[in-house]
Amino acid sequence: MILACTYITRRCPRNCAYCDASKVRKEEELDWLDWIRVNGILRELGVNFNLILGNESWLLGKKLKRIMEVNTVPYALYTTCPPELFITYRDDFFREGSIDNLSCGLDYSLSHLQKSHSSDIEKKSINAWQAFEYVRETHPFVDCQGTVTINRQNFKQLP
């Protein structure tokens, strides 16, 4: 099996204190037509699975769907599902069945988030839970994957 891991954009609309992804400029990146060519190259190489790690893929808006329409390489899409982007594009994107797997950062449990929900990572976890809820209710055949980054704050929740 040959796996690829791609960053379809390095940009991100969030502004987490420990990260400078919000400073990346669009002009420095491949455009959506380039990404269609990239996917064609991945296919030619025999890639079986493409993990699209972000940073925030929904920033490509409707172009993301166009890219994936010609992507026959099975893939998972990692996203932090910022509500202003996810709510705008999700129905169109999921309705067409162009996504196999939604992957989100899920560093905190729901029980923790009921008590504390103001840090950058907590807000991301809330948006991830909301996105999974949407997918499970409206597109139950799409796989959901929670990616947990274990750290000093959340390791006690592992059990």
Q: Which residues bind ligand SF4 (CB under 6 A)?
A: 12, 14-16, 19, 21-22, 55, 80, 124
Nearer to ligand SF4 by C-beta: 1 or 17?
17
State how far the Cα of 130 lies from the Cα of 141, in Å rounded to an integer: 17
Nearer to ligand SF4 by C-beta: 47 or 58?
58
Per-position DSSP letters for 22-54, written without gaps between them:
GG--GGGS--HHHHHHHHHHHHHTT--EEEEEE
Least gap, CB of 62 to ligand SF4 (angstroms): 21
Least gap, CB of 118 to ligand SF4 (angstroms): 15
Least gap, CB of 10 to ligand SF4 (angstroms): 8
Type and span of the H or E element at 75:
strand 75-78
111: its two tokens: 């029980």
Nearer to ligand SF4 by C-beta: 24 or 36?
24
Complete edge-to-edge strand list for the sheet that includes strand 3-7 = 3-7, 49-54, 75-78, 101-105, 143-147
Nearer to ligand SF4 by C-beta: 12 or 77?
12
Least gap, CB of 111 to ligand SF4 (angstroms): 23
Least gap, CB of 72 to ligand SF4 (angstroms): 28
Q: Residues with Cβ < 8 Å from 35, sequence gap 6 or more? A: 8, 67
State how far the Cα of 148 lies from the Cα of 18, in Å rounded to an integer: 17
Nearer to ligand SF4 by C-beta: 14 or 139?
14
Half-sphere exposure of 83 (CA within 13 A, CB side): 7
